[in-house]
Structure 1
Amino acid sequence: MAADFAAPGRVVLGSSPGNKQPIFSQATSSLISLVVVVSLSVLLMYLDRRHAYLDTLRTGMTTLVYPIQRAVDLPVRGGRWLVRSLVNQQTLLDENLTLRQQRLEDQHKLQSLAELQAENERLRALLESAARVPEQVIVADLLSVDLDPFSHLILLDKGTRGGVRVGQPLLDAEGVMGQIVETGPFSAYAMLITDPNHALPVRVHRNGLRGIAFGTGFTDQLELPDLPVNADIREGDLLVTSGLGGRYPEGLPAAIVTEVVRDPTDDFARITARPTAMLDRSREVLLVVSRSRVTTEAEPDGTTTATDIVSDEATAKDAPTEEMPAAETITSQDDSSPDQSPDNPDNEQTDDTPEDGDTR
């Protein structure tokens, strides 16, 4: 009863003025809660480790938390996607540019390869053509073409230093092209067989009929105006060089007859032919080196020009046929020759007679 009558203003230990609850009761309850939570945690960890009782709970919690994780990670993933897209676009642009350049280079290489293949085929055909010519040949390249329609001249990359001489025949893989008319140290001009000033002795390969093919100024046409109307020649006949005059080797393909017009009122047939040589396309040509021809042209007094030979061939059809001198005339002229002896009763010449086409 004495405690109830304590003096006013005196505080009793373990109580507060407002709620009259003891202070140690709150601290004790907090400590108890901590001990319970720690014990529960240790128990759960033990059970999870030893018996895996919390796998289902953990899976459920992960499922519930996953949308939140995705939402939090979405801005980061979006930024990465944007950067990767920009980088990929630039990479694709760079790769596209590289592929375009590579495509152009491949196209250029392909074109070069096709050109080399075509050149290889032309050279093979040229070598096969050279094998048909018994004489030695020189390979030359075409540098330029004269644009004058009345003068079919081409410039070659070989000259006198390369063994080229005036009058040498010019061939390609298909047939006769022309002859050299002018030479320099490193280049030479050749006249094509279609030049109006050119004449080519030919014969029909089928029957040996001889004629002269004149240039017309067109790269695909020759004329044979000196054959009679009843001549044995027809369309499709192959014309080859006859070898007369000694300028062109015999038997080379020259032209193919394309038209034969026989007018009974005319004495001569109108015959046109197409050159077998590719005059407007050939780039590699052959120059025939005739040993006798080169030796003759090297002599100071025996040099002849292609213009003289062409002129002689062009006027051959109009020139009258000269009669051979009588045998008595030849005998009388040779009576005083020092080569005649009593052992030669027939007055024959003992020295060799120059062949046709050679110059003494």
Structure 2
Amino acid sequence: MVRRYLVSILLAVIVAAVFLSPVFITISRMVFLFPSRIVSVTYHSISDFFLFLLRAKEFEQENRQLKKHITELELENSLLKAELSEFERLKKYKSISSRFIISRIIARDPTNWFKVAFVDAGVNQGIRAGMPVLLPEGVVGRIIEAGPGSSTVLLAIDSSSKISVIISETRELGIVEGTGKGLIMKFFSGDVDAQPGNIVLTSGLGGVFPKGLEVGRIANVNPGGLVATAEITPSVEFNKLEEVLILIK
């Protein structure tokens, strides 16, 4: 009887020790609190997910607006660069006398059969057929037709263009004709002293171009026969024309 009593007391002590121990209490808390924590974590995760979706939409809209703004800035920058480039080109003409009219190239011959260009100055600005068209680098061509507000320029490289010229170094005369792509000079004799690198100037003969304007430089000379010829490298880059000077006579 006493033994059974002692065993009961011992079991009671053990059970009390187990249930009242910190480890048991901690485990119990984990067991009972774990579901609530799962619910809490799940709630916050779902909330964060929808918040992320909402912010992602906002970020996408902001990104679109930023891209649009960047595109607008790039376009504005391109326009400013173009204006600056034009200003730099026109600045070199600031010392040009009032005898010249600065005119822009507004079109080229679309068929490419004739080497002509169209400028934004015409009769209303005092332009007439036959006026020389120049650049500081040299001869561009001449006006062949003038309308009220625009004119047609026959470029020096057109096959129908002919310019009376003189070699600066040797004073030999000749005619420079267009080939459609470049220039060729025909001398008045087969025996010439001109050499590659010599400067070809307008002679003033013919009444179109004043004397002394640069046309180009001799690339090579082909002597012999009745007349010698020479290939001329133009002083003007005809494929890069943007503005020209029209000489008012």
Q: Shorter chain as normaliser: what TM range?
A: 0.7 to 0.9
The percentage of aligned residue pairs carrying the same residue is 25
Could you tell me how far apart the structure 2 residues matched to 1:72 and 1:165 are?
92
Unaligned runs of 5+ in 1: 1-59, 291-360
Residue-by-residue CA offset, 1:162-220 (whole Å, 9 max, x unaligned): 110111110134221111111121221121112222211222233433322112222xx
Could you tell me how far apart the structure 2 residues matched to 1:249 and 1:159 are?
21
Could you tell me how far apart the structure 1 residues matched to 2:60 and 2:153 are?
55
In structure 2, do the counterparts of structure 1 residues 70 and 281 end up closer, same or farther at CA, with 3 Å as the change threshold?
same
Could you tell me how far apart the structure 1 residues matched to 2:98 and 2:159 are?
28
In structure 2, do the counterparts of structure 1 residues 224 and 230 end up closer, same or farther at CA, with 3 Å as the change threshold?
same
Could you tell me how far apart the structure 2 residues matched to 1:152 and 1:189 are?
10
**Which of 204, 211, 236 matches 1:250?**
211
Is contact 1:174-1:278 (8 Å) kept? no
1:143 aligned partner? 106
CA positional deviation for 1:136: 0.9
Is contact 2:173-2:187 (8 Å) kept? no
Residue identity in the other structure for 1:271: A
Is contact 2:192-2:223 (8 Å) kept? no
Unaligned runs of 5+ in 2: 1-24
2:240 aligned partner? 281
In structure 2, do the counterparts of structure 1 residues 173 and 120 end up closer, same or farther at CA, with 3 Å as the change threshold?
farther
2:80 aligned partner? 113
**Which of 165, 175, 179 matches 1:216?**
179
TM-score between the two structures when normalised by the length of structure 2: 0.77
Please say if 1:228 is aligned against 2:168: no
2:231 aligned partner? 272
Residue-by-residue CA offset, 1:105-159 (whole Å, 9 max, x unaligned): 233223223322332232234x06x63xx66111112222223444322222111
CA RMSD of aligned residues (A): 2.7
Secondary structure of 1:141 counterpart: strand
- In the comparison of the two structures, how many residue pairs are matched? 222
**Which of 127, 131, 156 matches 1:193?**
156
Could you tell me how far apart the structure 2 residues matched to 1:105 and 1:246 are?
52
Secondary structure of 2:218 counterpart: strand
CA positional deviation for 1:87: 1.2
TM-score between the two structures when normalised by the length of structure 1: 0.55
> Between Structure 1 and Structure 2, whose CA radius of gyration is higher?
1
CA positional deviation for 1:249: 2.4
Residue identity in the other structure for 2:147: G
In terms of fraction of residues, the more strand-rich structure is 2
> After the TM superposition, which residues 1-360 of structure 1 pair with which residues of structure 2 at under 5 Å, given as runs?
70-71=37-38, 73-125=40-92, 127=93, 131=96, 136-218=99-181, 221-263=182-224, 266-290=225-249
CA positional deviation for 1:83: 1.8
CA positional deviation for 1:227: 4.1
